Chain A
């Protein structure tokens, strides 16, 4: 965060510094046995936010974040990279600020196993990390076996681009190389999957690109589901912006992909076979593979947790947040992950201090772009209810239909503001 540094800032910082060093001195005597260790596995929106907010909740908690990669590419805004509107560098982040601003220790490595009884995590490097509480936030992995013909190798021909990075750029290059008059197929897996409006935002922005660069081309969405997030808003936008360019086939009309073939670029469904020039296969999903080894997932492939603390129902002392968790009616979004992480951090700080855990409050705010100047939103305040986590009465809304171009442009501007601020709130 950049601000003008004034003399007053300097004085207040100096004063704060004095207080901090006195506090540190006091702690050496009073609290050495109270210093607690939390290990967070996974540095996406959930893990990064949790690490930061744990340190904010109680600076006496030592927080170690374990992350495989030095750079994180955000899935939000990656559809802008797919369609050439932004470079990959614009959505690539590091973890330095979590360390510099909040004192989070970042370890780059791969967690391979957990010893819940001994409260230890083993890393591939051989290093072992002890914890009082463990937070697991590995995001999603793909159920390759659930879609015949799809694999990591097939993804090099038919990219998923559902984990951002090289896959995002591969899909962009394929779109650039596609001939005018070609067909882009997007397959959508059965819910739940990461970012419910994501496939339809992608279809929209691809149509936006094709309309300008390859206007005879089409987008075909083969969907395993019968409805989708902000459906009416997207349909209205497609009609207005890209008439006749986007076709959506729902599950009930045979939209669900049953088999894909990378050699012929075809997708088979119950209703027939479709050949595309570019085939974007968004595969069926589950919690990050790491949770299976740790015994945190159930038969659905996701992790059941307590709604107030996100502590696993299956393993005491281990919390699961973000896409991997079963969070009631909260979607698998960066916004929900950010919100769950704060609830989890507050709960852990209370548990470690032996205080009762307070009631949670969550916000989900998701934006999708139907074009760079046409935004749609889904937002709600969620709380713990008898059924788990659900929107509070009246506090859930989707962009209203029949709005002016000015309103849509404002929501697109909100989408940019959301991105800037959620990235800063989670990673800096």
Chain B
């Protein structure tokens, strides 16, 4: 990156997001890494207890559609800000991950 470009990028970050650092350009956590963060509310492997939404083994397009709705329409309480972290592709990957978990882990 040329120094001027870097400087301009830095300015953009400083002036638009005063308390948020720019994400490293190379950041690409694995799908499993991202999906494991869901477990604190939705259970290990998405096997939820109580009234939380179950993700385990659910059809990927059903999960993804719901997550897109949270992201685009600012819905789902905490899910609204959380989904803004991910690209549409990452959301599809997370959804597929839960769909594809093997039955033997159940």
A binding-site residues for B, Cβ under 8 Å: 1, 3, 9, 12-13, 15-16, 53, 335, 338-339, 342-343, 346, 358-363, 365, 377, 379-381, 383-388, 390-397, 399, 407, 410-411, 413-414, 416-418, 420-422, 424-426
* B8 at interface, CB cutoff 8 A: no
A-B interface, 5 closest residue pairs, ranked by CB to CB distance from nearest: A397-B81, A381-B85, A395-B85, A385-B21, A361-B29
Additional pairs, 9, CB under 8 Å, beyond known A13-B104, A394-B84, A421-B52: A342-B37, A359-B29, A380-B82, A390-B20, A392-B85, A417-B52, A420-B49, A422-B40, A425-B43
- Pair A386/B33 contact, Cβ less than 8 Å: no
Shortest Cβ gap from A46 to chain B (Å): 12
Shortest Cβ gap from B10 to chain A (Å): 9
Q: Which residues B21-37 have CB closer than 8 A to chain A?
A: 21-24, 26-30, 32-34, 36-37
Q: Determine the distance from Cα of A392 to Cα of B37 in the docked complex, in whole angstroms.
A: 14
* B78 at interface, CB cutoff 8 A: yes
- Pair A379/B52 contact, Cβ less than 8 Å: no
- Pair B81/A394 contact, Cβ less than 8 Å: yes
- Pair A391/B20 contact, Cβ less than 8 Å: yes
The residue in chain A whose Cβ has the minimal distance to the Cβ of B30 is: A358
- Partner pick for B24 among A346, A383, A414, CB 8 A cutoff: A383
Contacts of A407 in B (CB 8 A): 77
Q: List 17 A-B contacts (CB under 8 A).
A: A1-B43, A342-B33, A358-B29, A385-B22, A386-B21, A386-B24, A393-B23, A395-B84, A410-B77, A413-B51, A414-B77, A417-B48, A417-B52, A421-B39, A421-B52, A425-B40, A425-B43
- Pair B24/A385 contact, Cβ less than 8 Å: yes
The residue in chain B whose Cβ has the minimal distance to the Cβ of A396 is: B81
- Pair B41/A365 contact, Cβ less than 8 Å: yes
The residue in chain A whose Cβ has the minimal distance to the Cβ of B51 is: A417
Contacts of A381 in B (CB 8 A): 37, 81-82, 84-86
The residue in chain B whose Cβ has the minimal distance to the Cβ of A414 is: B77
* B58 at interface, CB cutoff 8 A: no
Q: Determine the distance from Cα of A84 to Cα of B50 in the docked complex, in whole angstroms.
A: 23
Contacts of B26 in A (CB 8 A): 359
Contacts of A384 in B (CB 8 A): 24, 27
- Pair B44/A417 contact, Cβ less than 8 Å: no
- Pair A393/B40 contact, Cβ less than 8 Å: no
The residue in chain B whose Cβ has the minimal distance to the Cβ of A101 is: B44
* B92 at interface, CB cutoff 8 A: no
Contacts of B52 in A (CB 8 A): 414, 417-418, 420-421
- Partner pick for B77 among A339, A377, A424, CB 8 A cutoff: A377
- Pair A393/B20 contact, Cβ less than 8 Å: yes
Contacts of A391 in B (CB 8 A): 20
- Pair B78/A12 contact, Cβ less than 8 Å: no
Contacts of B21 in A (CB 8 A): 385-388, 390
Q: Determine the distance from Cα of A392 to Cα of B82 in the docked complex, in whole angstroms.
A: 9
Q: Determine the distance from Cα of A388 to Cα of B80 in the docked complex, in whole angstroms.
A: 24
- Pair A362/B37 contact, Cβ less than 8 Å: yes
Contacts of B33 in A (CB 8 A): 342-343, 346, 358-361
Shortest Cβ gap from B70 to chain A (Å): 11
Q: Determine the distance from Cα of A407 to Cα of B21 in the docked complex, in whole angstroms.
A: 31
Shortest Cβ gap from B77 to chain A (Å): 6
* B2 at interface, CB cutoff 8 A: no
Q: Determine the distance from Cα of A19 to Cα of B43 in the docked complex, in whole angstroms.
A: 25
- Pair A421/B42 contact, Cβ less than 8 Å: yes
Contacts of A392 in B (CB 8 A): 20, 23, 84-85
| Contact A361:B24 (CB < 8 A) given known A1-B47, A416-B50, A421-B50 | no
* B103 at interface, CB cutoff 8 A: yes
Contacts of A390 in B (CB 8 A): 20-21
Q: Determine the distance from Cα of A1 to Cα of B46 in the docked complex, in whole angstroms.
A: 12
The residue in chain B whose Cβ has the minimal distance to the Cβ of A386 is: B21
- Partner pick for B22 among A362, A386, A424, CB 8 A cutoff: A386
- Pair A421/B48 contact, Cβ less than 8 Å: yes
* B17 at interface, CB cutoff 8 A: yes
